[in-house]
């Protein structure tokens, strides 16, 4: 498999597949492809995998793209302006991601749902209680809202983050939710009542323009419907 990430503010990913190579994505992410690409949509991972995708906020099915003869290209475009990054995972190596981050991955990458066992993160973490876990071997591509900021946290180092800005993190990173201190901060700070806390060791990927924030900003300018 060979690939190129093209564009800046609105990037797209072009993947050239070798003979028999397959990649998979959520339905709707493919933008264009060569005539030789074979497309198949269906369940993956059995009933458990299909149910897990539904409760994580994704569709029940995935779409696979295969080049039987080799040399065929298929392109994918994220839902919103941002950054596409590639992660090559070794066998058994995993990455945790919020539900909007996944774009496409090699067929060898496994996709499952991971539950955050901490009740606080589950109730107030937005994307926190149900996360997506991707495990190698293979390469996966993530779509980050806006530009991406990476931090490599040392042992015990903690970063407080608005939950929507936390895109991905390594499994070694501890994730929880902390309430904002101070009544004035809670009522008038504009950041919500809770912040995510991520504690090292491990790497975290933050997104500067979460899809939910973008949708909320656009919503304010849409005409309001009138009843009756």
Domain CATH code at residue 111: 3.60.160.10
The token duo for 216 is: 């909320």
Cα 26 to chain center, whole Å? 11
Q: Does 217 fall in a domain? A: no
The position carrying tokens 């950041």 is 191
The token duo for 102 is: 């996944």
Q: Does 227 fall in a domain? A: no
pLDDT on residue 181: 60
Give me the tens of pLDDT residue by residue for the chain, a chain 228 residues long: 999 999 988 999 999 999 999 999 986 789 999 999 999 988 655 444 454 555 555 555 789 999 999 999 999 999 888 999 999 999 999 999 988 889 999 999 998 887 655 544 444 444 445 788 999 999 999 999 999 999 999 999 999 998 889 999 999 999 887 766 644 444 444 444 678 899 999 999 999 887 776 766 777 778 876 654
Q: Answer whether 65's CB lies under 8 Å from 33's CB.
A: yes
Beta bridge partners of 86: 141
Q: Does 218 fall in a domain? A: no
pLDDT on residue 98: 86
Q: Does 69 fall in a domain? A: yes
Region for residue 68 given its phi and psi (left: phi exceeds 0; alpha: psi -120 to 50; beta: otherwise): alpha
Q: What is the residue range of 76's domain?
A: 2-210
- Is pTM beyond 0.85? Reply is no
Contacts of 36 (CB under 8 A, 6+ apart): 67, 68, 69, 71, 72
Residue 162's nearest CA partner among 152, 177, 148, 151 is 177
pLDDT on residue 122: 46
- Positive or negative torsion for Cα 99, 55, 92, 2: negative
Q: Does 204 fall in a domain? A: yes
Q: Does 32 fall in a domain? A: yes
pLDDT on residue 190: 45
Number of folded domains that form the chain: 1
| Long-range Cβ contacts of 6-12 (<8 Å, 24+ apart) | 9/81, 10/77, 10/81, 11/77, 11/78, 11/82, 11/83, 11/84, 12/75, 12/76, 12/77, 12/84
pLDDT on residue 219: 77
Q: Does 42 fall in a domain? A: yes
């Amino acid at each position: 498999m060979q690939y190129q990430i093209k564009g800046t503010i609105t990037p797209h990913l072009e993947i050239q597949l070798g003979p028999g190579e397959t990649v998979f994505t959520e339905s709707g992410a493919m933008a264009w492809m060569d005539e030789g690409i074979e497309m198949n949509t269906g369940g993956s991972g059995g009933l458990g995998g299909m149910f897990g995708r539904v409760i994580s906020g994704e569709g029940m099915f995935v779409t696979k793209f295969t080049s039987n003869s080799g040399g065929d290209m298929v392109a994918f475009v994220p839902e919103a302006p941002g950054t596409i990054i590639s992660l090559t995972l070794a066998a058994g190596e995993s990455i945790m991601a919020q539900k909007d981050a996944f774009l496409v991955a090699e067929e060898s990458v496994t996709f499952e749902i991971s539950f955050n066992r901490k009740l606080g993160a589950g109730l107030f973490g937005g994307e926190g209680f149900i996360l997506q876990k991707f495990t190698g071997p293979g390469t996966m591509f993530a779509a980050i809202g806006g530009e991406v900021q990476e931090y490599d946290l040392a042992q015990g180092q903690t970063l407080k983050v608005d939950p929507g800005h936390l895109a991905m993190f390594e499994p070694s990173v501890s994730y929880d939710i902390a309430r904002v201190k101070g009544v004035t901060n809670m009522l008038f700070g504009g950041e919500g009542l809770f912040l995510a806390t991520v504690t090292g060791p491990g790497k975290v990927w933050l997104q500067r323009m979460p899809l939910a924030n973008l949708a909320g900003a656009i919503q304010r300018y849409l005409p309001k419907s009138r009843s009756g």
